[in-house]
Structures are given as C-alpha cells and as structure tokens.
Structure 1
Amino acid sequence: MKSILQSIPKLLPALLLLFIGGITACIHPVRRLVFQPHNIQSAPSFPDDSTHLKRFWLKTDQGEVEGWLFEGNGVDASQPGPGVLMAHGNRELIDFYLKRAQMYQRMGYSVLLGEYRGYGRSAGTPSRERIASDYRRFYDHLVSLPVVDANRIVFHGRSLGGSVLSELSRHRQPAAIIVESTFTSIKAMAHGAPDILLSDNYDTVSALLTYPGPLLIIHGNRDKVVPVNHALEIKRQIPRAEVILYDCGHSDCPPQWETYWKDISGFLKPLVSD
C-alpha cells in the first residue's frame, strides 16, 4: 500500500493527460453536431448575375471569411434604408439564402449574409467564439454603409443562426430579431450534457432575455430536428415575443413563401418604416 501511495505523485501527470484526452475526445463529436460543414456538398458557383450583390472578405487569423452584400432597392446615401443581418443553420451556406436576401432587397432592405469559418469558400475552423467575433465585424460593416440606417437593423437567423444572432444582440442591439427554427440552447439539444463537454454552448434564451426589443419566433410544428417545444419555451420565458407556427418540419419550412413574407413584412413594417 505504501509503495502505491508513493507512486501516485509520479502518475499524476499521466492521469491528467489521460483525463484531458478523454474530455477532448468527448468534446470533438459534440462540436461536430453544432457545426456541420462536413455534411454539406460543395458550394455552388458564385451568382455573378445577381443584382447589386457584392462579395467581400473578412481577414482573420485563420484566413479569409466570405460575406455577401445586397443593396436595398430604392435606397441611397441621401435616403438610407433598413438593413438585415442574416445567419444560416449548421448544415447550410450563405449560397442557400440568395432568394431570401433578394426578397428583402426588393422590400428595400440592404442585406448582409455572413459565412461561418470553415464553411463553403471560407477558411478556418468554426467555433462559437470565432463566429461571434466575425459577426460583430459583419454587423459593423453593414452599419458603416452610407445606404444603411444604423437605427433600423434587423437580425434574422435560422436554426443555429438564430442563436448566433441572439448572442450578438448582447453586443450590438438591433431594431428587431427574428429567430427561425431555433433551439433554446445547445445544452437542451444535447439532452443536458455536462457543461464541460459543451465548448460551443449557445444559449438562445439567456441571450434573448437581455434583449429588450421586438422578437418574432418562427417555427414548424412538425420539426423533428429542433422540436417546436423550443419555440414555445422561448415564448414562455419572453411573453412579449410574437410566435408564428407553420405546418412544416425543419428543412421544408415555410410551406408557403407568400404567407411567410407577408408575416415577416407585417412584423417589421411598424418597426423599421420611416
């Protein structure tokens, strides 16, 4: 027994390395659930024919990260209009949001689609901290444009993107937030996994509780990826939030685009109109 006790100090470094290795091995698959660029087919070709679409790149310590800008119809430096900062889901690319951005553009909104590190044509490895840093810069770039009224910025995020932008609202306050098919927290999605395993522990509800402005929750009542109870829980904790439920799942929402845009327009019009 004495010899065993004497050997413990010598074993501590090895045991510590084993513990750290075990934690790291557990964190990696959880991170792969949060960020899934590996499950996305190659990015489509850049849409060169899109009207008023400008591509730009953020320079980061891991390389360049892509952003797309759409200038709103009917706006200029003498009469700036509202803006929308959009963030996509964990198995998507900014390329998939071209039509949504163009619809906002036709409504007079200037739109910025920001990519995540390691997604599509963007360099680096995604993480909560890196994406948060990049999105603060995306926001700052959007509000710096002469055609954009910095007091009329909307955050619109889907799935993971809803949580990305909810957390951004702690640092950059928008005129309104739209969260679509978004979870309450990564912890809830991971069925209560220990915090030590959640290196990218997004907490949508916690972030939105600090946001005093208008909030719209859009969700599918047949969503099996992020069940509708997540939307209802956000509403329960933030009673002022508006909720719109569609008869759809996670990836087939909305079922009717005309209704979807009518609902969004109705929510935003009194908030961002001149």
Structure 2
Amino acid sequence: MLVLRIIVGLGLAYALLVLLAWLFQDRLAFPAPRASVPDPKRVGVENGEKVEVTTEDGTRLVGWYLKPEVGGGLGRFGEVGRHQINLPQPPLASTTSPGLLWFYGNGETVAAIWPIVREFQPPGTAVLVVDYPGYGGSGGRATEVALYAAGEAAYAALATRLGVDPQRIYVYGRSLGSAVATHVAARRPVAGLILESPFTSAAAMAKHHYGFFPRFLLHLSLDNLTNVKRVHCPILLFHGDADRLVPTAMGMAVAAAASGPVDVVLIHGSGHDHTYDIGGRAYRDKVWAFIAGR
C-alpha cells in the first residue's frame, strides 16, 4: 500500500510539473526583464538617439539608433580608426552607409547591452537595437510570434532610415536573438548575417535541458536550422567552445545547414555568457571586417 501511494504521489508530482512546463514555457524561453531605455546622450553616446518602432499590430518598441561614425565603436578597447585595422575607407562621395540590426540574448535588454553595442559599432555603419515586446522599455508581451514581428519591424525601420543603404543591411543575433536574426535574414534581403551561440531549434534545446518532459508539450519552434537553409548571404558565426547552455555542436549544425558561405570562429575557453570578454578585440574586429567586406 505504501509503495502504491509513493508511485501515485510521484505520478501526480510529474503530472504537475508537466502542466507547469506547458503553461510557463513562454516565460522560461522569454524571461522578459524590464528596464527603461537610457537616453544615449546622458550616458555619453553622442551619436545615439532613443527611437521608437511600431510593429504591425501596434506594439511600441523602444531602442537606440547609432549614427555612423568613421572611427567605429568606443569602449574598453578604445576608439580605433579604420586605418588601424586595415579596413577600407568609405567613399568620400557616398551619401549612404551600411546598417546593422542587433538582436540580443534572452536575458538582456538595451539598457544592459548598450555598452557592448556601442563598442562593436563598425566604422561608418549605422546600428539599430530595440527591446523585444515585453522586454526592457517596450510594450506588448514576449512570444515567439511577437519577437519575429519585432524583428521585421526593426528591419523595415532601418532599411527606410535616411542615409542607410537598404542593400547593405547586416543582421546580428546572439543566442535567442539568433532565431530572430535567421527569421529576418530568411525573409528579407540582407548583405550578411552574424550569429553568436546559435541553437538549432527549441525542440533540440528542450531535449538537451529538459529531456524528461514529453516533446508534445512544446509549442515553440525557434527553428534556426530551417531558416538558415533559406539564407544565401555570407554568414559569420561565433561560438564558445566551452558553451554548456547552447552546445557548440548546435552552432556547427547551424553552420552546416546554411545555403551560403559560412565563416566559423570558435572562441576558445568561452562559455555562453563570456564571449564578449574572452573574444575581446579579435571578436569585434572580425565583425568589423565582415561588414567592411574583407
């Protein structure tokens, strides 16, 4: 009798866990931290402005737009002119610049990530980063569909921005942001795609971390493998070789599935959350060279 009670108790506990996982999987995938977007000028970013982007369903997104600067990003690496890393100078008569869309990871916000975005801003390139729905200072609720809608709205905002060349839009996505980036790159014309720590799909991540749950519970897709097959532009892919959250093998699978040329850069000794610190200037300069067409 005691054994039966234990079995029934364990069964009920498992059923409760399954129910909670089904109910709260969006919250697990999209923690949606809140934080007000700072005024760029007040934090010393003179080429930045606070912007708003509206999705098709009317959701208001907030973020930063960084105007192009010849010297590129300024941060712990210092300001570096194009001649110092042997990047080609923009044509003097050019009236337009490349644009870079930045899609961050699931626990980040513009308020948290802006120093990195500013530091990585390529020379002569405009940058747009917005908070996802429900994240940071943006309205709405964080869902997979909402993130994709935000990505497409951000693309449209950058591609139609005065002074930005719509034929030279680059898209960067880190971790969760890789799913938004591949979604946009598979559906919009982009000059290049930069991925950092991309996973293959939500199903693969669920199996890796929560293999004891039945697969039918999952309603999320976040399918980088399918999307990247539709991407024909050059791809630059970074992954830490000590990443336990998103295994390096997933990043390699995404690279192998791509239809276009892929340059893979392994960041040795880096886990999931240390790529910027360990990759350092070499990481940044690789991004700069990719956008400069080298």
Q: Same fold (TM over 0.5)?
A: yes
Alpha-carbon displacement from aligned partner over 1:59-87 (angstroms, at most 9, x marks no partner): 45575221211111159996111000010
Paired residue secondary structure (1:170): helix
Residue in structure 2 matching 1:141, options 137, 150, 157: 157
Post-superposition Cα deviations, 1:12-71, rounded to whole Å, max 9, x if no partner, equal xxxxxxxxxx9875433322221012xx47457444331121112234557522121111
Closer, same or farther: CA 57–44 of 1 in aligned 2, 3 Å: closer
- Unpaired runs of 5+ residues, structure 2, are 1-16, 71-89
In structure 2, the partner of 1:31 is 26
Per-residue CA distance 1:137-191 (angstroms, 9 max, x = gap): 1111101112101111110010000111101122212100011011111110000
Q: Give distance in 1, aligned partners of 2:45 and 2:93.
A: 21
1:168 is the counterpart of 2:184: yes
* Identity %, equivalent residues: 27
The residue aligned with 2:141 is: 125
235, 246, 262: which one aligns with 1:241: 262
Residue in structure 1 matched with residue 285 of structure 2 by the alignment: 262
User: Does the CA-based 8 Å contact 1:159-1:181 persist in structure 2?
Assistant: yes
2: CA distance, partners of 1:141 / 1:117? 16
Residues 1:253 and 2:249 are matched in the alignment: no
1:73 alignment partner, one of 69, 74, 81: 69
- Matched letter for residue 73 of structure 1: E
Residue identity in the other structure for 2:61: V
Distance 2:252 2:287 in 1: 19
What is the CA distance between 1:196 and its match in structure 2?
Answer: 4.6
What is the rounded CA distance, in whole Å, between the counterparts of 1:225 and 1:24 in structure 2? 24
Quote how far apart the aligned CAs of 1:96 are.
Answer: 2.8
Change (3 A) 1:236 1:134: closer
Partner AA of 2:187 in structure 1? H
Mapped partners of 2:38, 2:49: distance in 1: 14
TM-score normalised by structure 2 residue count: 0.76
- Structure 1 unaligned blocks of 5 or more: 1-21
Q: Tell me which moved more, 215-224 or 194-203.
A: 194-203
Rounded Cα–Cα distance in structure 1 between residues aligned with 2:182 and 2:93:
29
Q: CA deviation at 1:205?
A: 1.2
The separation in 2 between residues aligned to 1:209 and 1:99, in whole angstroms, is 32
**Is the 8 Å Cα contact of residues 77 and 147 (structure 1) preserved in structure 2?**
no
What's the TM-score once normalised by structure 1's chain length? 0.81
Task: Answer yes or no: is the 8 Å Cα contact 2:134–2:140 preserved in 1.
Answer: yes
Following superposition, the deviation at residue 107 of structure 1 comes to 1.0
- Helix, strand or coil for the counterpart of 1:232? helix
* One-letter amino acid of the structure 2 residue matched with residue 145 of structure 1: R
Distance apart, 1:257 and its partner CA: 1.6
Name the residue aligned to 1:218: 238
Letter aligned with residue 200 of structure 1:
L
